[in-house]
Structure 1
Amino acid sequence: MAPPILTLDGIVLTFGGTPLLDGAELSASAGDRIALVGRNGSGKSTLLKIAAGLVEPQDGTVFRQPSATIRYLPQAPDMDGFSNVRAYVEAGLGPADDAYRATYLLEHLGLTGEEKPETLSGGEARRAALARVMAPEPDILLLDEPTNHLDLSVIEWLEEELVRSSSALVVISHDRRFLERVSRSTVWLDRGHTRRLEKGFAHFEEWRDTVLEEEEREQHKLGRQIVREEHWLRYGVTARRKRNMRRLGELQAMRQRFRGHQGAEGVAKMAASDAADSGKLVIEAKSISKSFGDLTVVKDFSTRIQRGDRIGLVGPNGAGKTTLLKMLTGELEPDAGTVRLGVNLEIATLDQKRTAVDPEETLAHFLTDGRGETLVVNGEERHVVAYMKDFLFKPDSARTPVRELSGGERARLILARVLSRPANLLVLDEPTNDLDMETLELLQELVAGFPGTVLLVSHDRDFLDRTATSVIVPDGDGRWIEYAGGYSDMLAQRGVGKLEDRKAAKAAESSPKVAATQPKASAKKLSFKQKFALESLPGRMEAVSTSISALENQLADPSFYDKNPASFAKTIAALEKERQTLASMEEEWLELEMLREELEG
């Protein structure tokens, strides 16, 4: 097994009160792909900053290999002092680094390099920061929410680039599918401590639930043991004084351990405030169009949205999703066509910029709009502190200024305010940004079960698949098309599977006349070899999957490395080889299946 490039051991950091980090650990070696997960405010970003050398811990040790290069992607990159994006990106290169790498990354991230830092949007700034940290091809990449503000095509490209990269990776992200794709191990930061699972994020939630259940059983056993010891002290036969004092000391230690135990963090209670039902027809748009100068954003688009529909708007940044959303809700007049809104509409909006929030405003003042200590939710008057608890804010944080919140906590606060307003139409523009996994799960349940109507703009593929009843996507030249189902359903209906196929489809869309003149495939049916491969591949894939599971189970044994380091390294190599074999088989099967469907018409 390769020696660690980076090691954090026994890290302690306190900002008054309960320690944020209390003995946290993190270790990364060459080839590691680590997902760092935990609740909003649990200290994930702080731990990453400590790893990058930007924050000093109060206790613990930090080791970085002297020759190793480490690059850190912050949530808010600082570009002050740079004339353009290219200068900012190239400043991250070392003397021996390839300058062409910066050009390659800028092109694939949709930037020319001539953009001025002060004019960049949030998505453009994030892409520039990604180019800067990836250009040197460092030994370790530390990425804090790399997918925020990125459109789907860039997220998918970034996945492929990171999978191919030789850099070790530690990443914080709310995007489930992204984490499942790029991670091979998971570090869970919980109540100041870290636990490590030598499996990717896809296995995290099952493991986390098992750990919490075992912790609850141990705490229950400790409580029963305390009861038994107290009974012995009161009613047991008097033994030697020395023995009694020993047991009394043990009892005091058990009591202290029992009282000091911090239970698992609570679960947010998220519910939208109900309004009276809207009419059956919520929105009807007929042949609407919108242009800004020579740029046509929406052209001749029609749709009919009914009560209970959950519509996802998908597309690259700048395609016009927010413009189309504003036209559908009546906030923006179309240049041509008509939009008719249904009756009894009560709209609650979460905008992309998260509403302007005064950083000096307290949490309680923000939630109540300064109207005292109470607010009305679902027709019931509630104290603001009780409502804050539903969203996992502690009672003593009611007077805390908004500026002291983490990005995820601020997102949760604004969501609490939006959901307190009575609504039968939810308009959510990028609602998943900065939310932790548990809060994201609850938001998914809320949107999927909302009795009214939802209009949703998101780049989160998993969220769209779990919530949307249909998605609207751009088709070039201002045209938009609506597909039934979620994001994956849309891809299937467009006949597009892999990233390479999507690029080919996009190229074909941009030149339809050329595509129309292409001759049809001359083959009328699959060859014998192709047919045999199509029939045999599922069984072979299942066998490889079984082998992968067996290898992962071996690596899950915490004592495996200590017992036999050489065997541990061989097992990791075998696992990687099997994963690559499975990925190759899946790609081959998908290509053959798509070919079969095409030939059969």
Structure 2
Amino acid sequence: MNLLSAENISKNYADRWLFKDLNFGLQQGQRVAFVGINGTGKTTLLRVLAGLETPDTGSVSTRKAIRVTYLGQQPVFDESLTVEETIFASQNDTLRAIKDYEHVVNDPNHKPDDLQRVMELMDTLNAWDYEAQVQQILGRLGILGELLQRNVSMLSGGQRKRVALARVLIEEPDVLLLDEPTNHLDLATIEWLENRLSSPTLTLLMVTHDRYFLDKVANEIVELDKGQMYRYQGNYAYFVEKKADREMREATEVEKARQLFKKELDWMRRMPQARGTKQKARIDAFYITKEKASTNLSKQQVELSVKTTRQGGKIIEAEHLNKKFGDNVVLDDFSYVFKKKDRIGLVGPNGAGKSTLLNMLTGKLKPDSGTIDVGLTTVFGYYTQTELEFDPTQRVIDIVKEVAEVVELANGDVLTASQFLNLFLFPPAQQYTLVSKLSGGEKRRLQLLRVLIKNPNFLILDEPTNDLDLATLNILEDFLLHFTGCLLIVSHDRYFLDNLAEHLFVLEPGGAVLNFPGNYTDYRDYLAERETEAALEEEEKAAKASRAAAKATAAAPAPTPPPAAQPPKRRASFAEKKEFEQLEKDIAALEKEKEQLVANLATGQGSRQDLIAWPARLQAVDKELDAKGERWLELSDFM
């Protein structure tokens, strides 16, 4: 039975139907991804299913008591709340208890009575395991310490997305609706989220263009194409294969319909009036054939073939660059001489300084020390994460004409701004609409177009895959593979990086930059090998220490025999014998408890209460062992 259902839903936007009479159902355990070119209505459909927009026709329903949570591309918050209040805004009793507990624990001036009260409430609701899950989510998303008390109105775009993601994951709804969940996340966090959302018990519906993420998380792909919905039971690789099969079948069917249409058109001209039932049926069939024969199978494609400005011998020479903000060292003694056809990926956690380095190379930011020498023929094309800025009265074509009236292609052809827009999937009718009416992906595509028509020979792309559809991404990759200038890419899209980057700049803690020869998957394999080697080294060290200890024991001189004559020993009393026997049992039990406590602390997987209680108990056990051990030694002399 469906947890979420939509029947005959339609939506009209800006005088065109995004989709019409669609039916959709989502069952327990399904992990479905919507795909399609920008502007087909994926985000709109997700918002309709979430109940945030009303369909023009049809209805959306959920099973009784089912909780549905939506994560949008641009999260909306109550700007007066703190991050902590926003994350724990749910009416869930357990979440409220965890919120109170976190607030008290993080308050250095809390009262003992308050701590006792919140801990008792956590015990009553059995919330400790849930609290540990909350801590893991907040930790992996970097929402800790001072950030929890910051007002959400002060957060950056990336921080807002991570706070919104933390909120929906912590709420643990029955159905998750996610719109571009990987945007603004670093690569390590994406891989963690990927593993978390791959659970077979999770039910989710998402819009994403991250192909590795699609492959790992989705077990069904739904394509929106020309207002119709096509479902594919499988991951992204399966979808690509079956979509090609479907398009081939459609092409065959349309060709047959066109041949039949010519034949039936001749008959219609000879028989304009239908006098019999058979003739009426044939006329009805003619119009069905006509509609099928009129199907437009032509594919719109982005033709990224602009001319590249000639590049001289010197491109960019960066020597001993240093940059820090306060006490935070972002770049420490970075040097590199860029060469022709360099294809570099720039990776590192959020806040490591990727955008800072790009801004220094392009002259937007000065280093604290060091020099950047840019060649006279170097022409930058800098595609930033900053959203396209425009006047509300501007049309699409106005945005392009601000940069160039005509564009020269690689083959020497010259196109007008309007013709070039058409190649970028902006047909003439759309070119004169207001930019404000474009979807997020269409605005990003327009922004990319503005960068490319400058004929750059040093192309810097800062998160270019955000909001671009799969068709545009594939063709953008094809263009970049044939781009003859220098290419420097920051992207959280691992598929994109693997296809294009030949080596990486890896920003490490303390401002160091590792120049790694290979793509992102090569780098991940390298890290895995280093971890394995480190573990083997530790094992070898432990084995050597053990062998050395055994050798030392074997080489030790034999103990000196006792003197021949010994004074008579005092014999233990009955009570002392019983005490001695009990001490042996107590010491064994304490040793076992100590081993368990050490093992628990090594995993670090307990609740916050456990992580506080375990070290204190370990200290107490050690004291008891010392005391009982001394008493055991005293009594052993009399046994």
Q: What TM-score bracket applies, with the shorter chain setting the length?
A: 0.7 to 0.9
SS in 2 for 1:229: helix
Matches within 5 A, 1:423-462: 423-462=456-495
Distance 1:56 1:114 in 2: 36
Mapped contact 1:92–1:133 kept (Cα < 8 A): no
| 2:81 equivalent to 1:83 | yes
Q: Which amino acid letter does the alignment assign opposite residue 275 of structure 1?
A: T
Q: Deviations over 1:224-257 (max 9, x none)?
A: 1111223445679x99755444433432342244
1:334 is matched with: 367
**1:267 correspondence with 2:265:** no
Please report how far the alpha carbon of residue 307 of structure 1 lies from its aligned counterpart in structure 2 after TM superposition.
0.7
Distance 1:265-1:44 versus aligned 2 partners, 3 A rule: farther
Q: For the residues of structure 2 that align with 1:521 and 1:189, how far apart are their CA atoms?
A: 58
What is the DSSP-based 3-state SS (H/G/I as helix, E as strand, rest coil) of the residue aligned with 1:306? coil
Equivalent in 187, 205, 210 of residue 170 of structure 1: 205
Counterparts of 1:74 and 1:189, CA distance in 2: 19
> Aligned-residue CA RMSD in angstroms?
2.6
* Distance (Å, rounded) in 2 between the aligned partners of 1:212 and 1:290: 53
Alpha-carbon spacing, 1:427–1:6, altered in 2? closer, same or farther (3 Å): same
- The match for 2:52 is 54
**CA distance in 1 between partners of 2:389 and 2:484 (Å):** 29
Q: Counterparts of 2:209 and 2:483 in 1: how far apart (Å)? A: 22
Report the residue type matching 1:520 in the other structure. E
Matches within 5 A, 1:12-91: 12-15=10-13, 17-91=15-89
Question: Match of 2:177?
Answer: 142
Is contact 1:412-1:435 (8 Å) kept?
A: yes
> For residue 142 of structure 2, what is the aligned residue in structure 1?
110
Please state if 1:375 is matched with 2:406: yes
SS in 2 for 1:410: helix
Contact 1:311–1:471 (Cα < 8 Å) also in 2: yes
Matched, 1:396 2:429: yes
- Bigger drift between 179-188 and 240-249 goes to 240-249
1:48-76: CA deviations, max 9, x gaps? Answer: 11111111112223221021110000111
Consecutive unaligned residues of structure 1, counting only runs of 5 or more, are 509-514, 525-601
User: Structure 1 residues 61, 518: closer, same or farther in 2, change over 3 A?
Assistant: same
Q: 1:520 aligns to what?
A: 540
> In structure 1, the residue corresponding to 2:540 is in which secondary structure?
coil
Which residue does the alignment assign to 1:484?
Answer: 517
Verify the 8 A CA contact 1:296 1:477 in the aligned structure 2: yes
Alpha-carbon spacing, 1:234–1:353, altered in 2? closer, same or farther (3 Å): closer
**Aligned partners of 2:199 and 2:282: how far apart in 1?**
59
SS at match of 2:355: helix
1:303-322 → structure 2 map (5 Å cutoff): 303-322=336-355
The 2-side partners of 1:424 and 1:326 are apart by 17
Q: Does residue 252 of the first structure (1) align with residue 272 of the second (2)?
A: no
What is the alpha-carbon distance in structure 1 between the residues aligned to residue 537 and residue 249 of structure 2?
Answer: 64
Distance 1:16 1:126, change over 3 A: closer
Give the partner amino acid of 2:357.
L
Counting only pairs closer than 5 Å after superposition, residues 185-196 of structure 1 correspond to structure 2 as 185-196=220-231
Give the deviation of 1:138 after TM superposition.
Answer: 0.9
For 1:405, the equivalent position in structure 2 comes to 438
Aligned to 2:417: 384
- Counterpart position of 1:5: 3
Q: 1:396–1:415: structure 2 CA closer, same or farther, 3 Å change rule?
A: same
Distance 1:354 1:204 in 2: 31
The farther-off stretch of 78-87 and 295-304 is 78-87
Q: Which structure has the greater CA radius of gyration?
A: 2
Q: Please tell me whether the aligned partners of residues 182 and 190 of structure 2 are also in contact (alpha carbons under 8 angstroms).
A: yes
Which has the larger displacement, 16-25 or 51-60? 16-25
Structure 2 residue matching 1:216: 3-state secondary structure = helix
Question: 1:96 offset after TM fit, Å?
Answer: 5.4
Secondary structure of 2:525's aligned partner:
helix
Q: So what's the TM-score if we normalise by structure 2?
A: 0.74
Q: What does 1:204-353 correspond to in 2, within 5 Å?
A: 204-233=239-268, 243-259=278-294, 261-263=295-297, 265-276=299-310, 278-353=311-386
**Contact kept? 1:350, 1:418, Cα under 8 Å:** yes
Of the three residues 132, 152, 162, the one matched with 1:127 is 162
Secondary structure (helix, strand or coil) at the match of 1:220 reads helix
- Alpha-carbon distance change, 87 to 413 in structure 1, aligned in 2, over 3 angstroms: same
Deviation, 1:315, is: 0.8
SS at match of 1:226: helix
Per-residue deviation, residues 502-551 of structure 1 (Å, max 9, x unmatched): xx99xx9xxxxxx9995636789xxxxxxxxxxxxxxxxxxxxxxxxxxx
Are the aligned partners of 2:381 and 2:456 in contact in 1 as well (CA < 8 Å)?
yes
* Structure 2: tracts of 5 or more residues without a match: 99-130, 545-639
Shift of 1:447: 1.3
Aligned amino acid, residue 188 of structure 1: E
Query: 1:116 & 1:255 partners in 2: Cα distance?
Result: 60
- The whole-number CA distance in structure 1 between the counterparts of 2:292 and 2:388 is 44
Q: 1:262 to 1:234 in 2, by over 3 A?
A: closer
Distance 2:186 2:227 in 1: 33
TM superposition shift of 1:352 = 1.6
C-alpha separation in 1, matches of 2:15 and 2:389: 30
Contact 1:271 1:419 in 2 (8 A): no
Could you tell me which residue of structure 2 aligns to residue 597 of structure 1?
A: none
Secondary structure of residue in 2 paired with 1:14:
strand
**Partners of 1:272 and 1:423 within 8 A in 2:** no
- Distance in structure 2 (CA, Å) of the matches to 1:473 and 1:153: 13
The answer (yes or no) to whether the contact 2:352–2:508 under 8 Å persists in 1 is: no
Query: Per-residue displacement from partner, 1:388-414 (whole Å, max 9, x unpaired)?
Result: 111111211122111111110000111
Secondary structure of the 1:418 match is helix
Distance 2:44 2:504 in 1: 37
| 1:456-508 CA-partner distances (Å, limit 9, x unpaired) | 111111101000111100222110111112111222334459xxx6xx99xx9
What amino acid does structure 1 have at the position aligned with 2:492? Answer: H
User: Partners of 1:457 and 1:16 in 2: how far apart?
Assistant: 34
> What amino acid is aligned across from residue 214 of structure 1 in structure 2?
R
